[in-house]
Amino acid sequence: MVNRRIAETLRSGQPDESLLVQGWVRTKRESKGFAFIEVNDGSSLANLQVVINQDLPDYEAILKKLNTGVAVEVTGVLVASLGKGQRIELKAEAVKVYGEADPDTYPLQKKRHSFEFLRTIGHLRSRTNSFGAVFRIRNACSTAIHQFFQERGFLWVHTPIITASDCEGAGELFSVTSLDLKKIPRTDNQAVDYTQDFFGKPTYLTVSGQLEAEVMAMAFSNVYTFGPTFRAENSNTSRHLAEFWMVEPEMAFCDLEGDMDLAEAFLKHIFKYVLENCPEDMEFFNQRIDNTVLATADNIINNEFERLTYTDAIKLLEKADVKFEYPVSWGLDLQSEHERYLAEQLFQKPVIVTDYPAQIKAFYMRLNDDEKTVRAMDILAPKIGEIIGGSQREERLEVLERRVLAQGLNPEELWWYLDLRRYGTVPHAGFGLGFERLVQFITGMGNIRDVIPFPRTPQNAEF
């Protein structure tokens, strides 16, 4: 018997084909002498309609069990569907019920649930239409990312999760401790501290793989990382997580212009890939979550991003006829309200802001001749704000050493990073894309907690 995923059956299944389908029941409708169930196996938004006739052995008993959430295996023959909404349906010849789901306690019923409620049942929410679509698009984005870089000859490098350096110098770190649970007494109340740091050295969970990616770029020219990063963000915004995934390409023999060109081509590629490979899911987001999702995709693919300097951006913000919560003036970092104003209202497309003041950016960014600004760029997206942060890196040893000291960092800890400028240094550049912000941008989902299977925030580490 052919065992086929539902997406493929809906796309290309033909009448008279026999097949076996496995999945979870979404709904049941009973009529006189027969019943319909909708089965979903996660492969597509659409369900497969299964018709069960009363001549099936044990019809009544099986039907009673086929509630929302039940795991089933159906064997049958495909027939052209007479009803509206589907081309084809499965006429059941045998139905095997695996795990049942008590309709009185199963939390997912046919009605629409709020995202807030679904966050409290994170272990079940992937069975809903919205989360099915989100995680299929997340998967497509991952594939598109690798495709983009692999086609251009970039090497995917794996940078460490445990590090001794604070890449950004921003201090939002989680530290690593080792713990021998077997040695901790559980029966008495004696408090014994068996925690240790990393074999005698303080270490942290990585906030970015950039510094290590630079090491690899100095040997392979073009590399990228794609992995989890961690920041102790004790805040509750809709765009910050304590654990998020980052994509970080790093290119040797590259300046800020090359970096911006790559970042723009990269975003366009991902949107195109997702539109081509997940059209039903994208249509769903446009209809149910945010009716500008398809127009946004079209806008990204077909228009050049706006490029302007930080200094010009500040002038535009100072002239804006909106009242911002946070002040705007040269030398202050842009807040998300300013970023969104530029991308959403003023230019109505992604904006690349360049040449930020050195004092608000990391030590490794290339100092401009004015000695006040650095060759940094942030890509600001409508509805999201900053989605990408990148820069040309400081390749001159003396300048880099000066900048390290100026930011209160210890050059001795960065000896290996400085060595890259001592031996075979070259202009190079890269950027970091927050993967969850990208998925938010594409799907129109309002909260970053709803585009990652297991969000890590100050309130949430349970499952």
Q: Single out the residue of 244, 341, 356, 363 in contact with ligand ATP (rule: CB under 6 A).
A: 244
CB 436 → ligand ATP: shortest distance, Å? 5
449 phi/psi in degrees, rounded to 5: -65, -20
CB 168 → ligand ATP: shortest distance, Å? 5
Q: Single out the residue of 38, 41, 168, 250 in contact with ligand ATP (rule: CB under 6 A).
A: 168
Q: Which is nearer to Mg ion, 76 or 389 (CB)?
A: 389
CB 223 → ligand ATP: shortest distance, Å? 17
Residue 422 CB: number of other CB atoms within 10 A? 9
CA distances, 276 to each of 144, 219, 280, 313 (Å):
11, 35, 10, 35
Residues in binding contact with ligand ATP, number by CB under 6 A? 15
Q: Which is nearer to ligand ATP, 382 or 434 (CB)?
A: 434
Q: Which amino acid is at 151?
A: E
CB 24 within 8 A of CB 67: no
CB 336 → Mg ion: shortest distance, Å? 9
Q: Does 450 bind ligand ATP (CB under 6 A)?
A: no
CB 417 → ligand ATP: shortest distance, Å? 17
CB 81 → ligand ATP: shortest distance, Å? 43
CB 386 → ligand ATP: shortest distance, Å? 4
Q: Which residue is nearest to Mg ion (CB)?
A: 389
How far is residue 17's CA from residue 78's CA, in Å, rounded to a whole number?
5
CB 127 within 8 A of CB 24: yes
x/- binding map, residues 369-388, to Mg ion, per CB under 5 A?
-----------------x--
Span near ligand ATP by CB under 6 A; candidates 111-119, 316-324, 385-393, 412-420 = 385-393
How far is residue 115's CA from residue 323's CA, in Å, rounded to a whole number?
30
In DSSP notation, 73-104 reads EEEEEEEE--STT-SEEEEEEEEEE-S---TT
Q: Does 436 bind ligand ATP (CB under 6 A)?
A: yes
429 phi/psi in degrees, rounded to 5: -155, 160
Torsion angle (degrees, nearest 10) of CA 199, 204, 208, 210: -40
Span near ligand ATP by CB under 6 A; candidates 65-73, 257-265, 299-307, 383-391 = 383-391
Q: Which is nearer to ligand ATP, 284 or 356 (CB)?
A: 356
Q: Which is nearer to ligand ATP, 42 or 357 (CB)?
A: 357
CB 270 within 8 A of CB 387: no
Q: Does 441 bind ligand ATP (CB under 6 A)?
A: no
Helix/strand/coil for 367: strand
CA distances, 142 to each of 28, 118, 247, 341, 388 (Å):
35, 24, 10, 29, 16
Q: Which residue is nearest to ligand ATP (CB)?
A: 434
Q: Residue 366 carries which DSSP code? A: P
116: left (phi over 0), alpha (psi -120 to 50) or beta: alpha
CB 240 → ligand ATP: shortest distance, Å? 4
Q: Does 241 bind ligand ATP (CB under 6 A)?
A: yes
Helix/strand/coil for 49: strand
CB 90 within 8 A of CB 37: no
Q: Residue 9 carries which DSSP code? A: H
x/- binding map, residues 304-343, to ligand ATP, per CB under 6 A?
----------------------------------------
CB 378 → Mg ion: shortest distance, Å? 6
Q: Does 437 bind ligand ATP (CB under 6 A)?
A: yes
Q: Which of the listed partners (Mg ion, ligand ATP, none) does 437 bind, with a CB threshold of 5 to 8 Å by partner kind?
A: ligand ATP
Sites for ligand ATP among residues 216-235 (CB under 6 A): 231, 233
Q: Does 389 bind Mg ion (CB under 5 A)?
A: yes
Q: Single out the residue of 274, 377, 387, 400 in contact with ligand ATP (rule: CB under 6 A).
A: 387
How far is residue 454's CA from residue 122's CA, in Å, rounded to a whole number?
7
Span near ligand ATP by CB under 6 A; candidates 16-24, 135-143, 279-287, 384-392 = 384-392
- Of the candidates 28, 22, 104, the residue with the CA atom closest to the CA atom of residue 66: 28
Helix/strand/coil for 396: coil
Tokens 């050295």 belong to which residue?
Answer: 201
Task: List residues near Mg ion by CB under 5 A.
Answer: 386, 389
Task: List residues near ligand ATP by CB under 6 A.
Answer: 168, 231, 233, 240-241, 244, 246, 386-389, 432, 434, 436-437
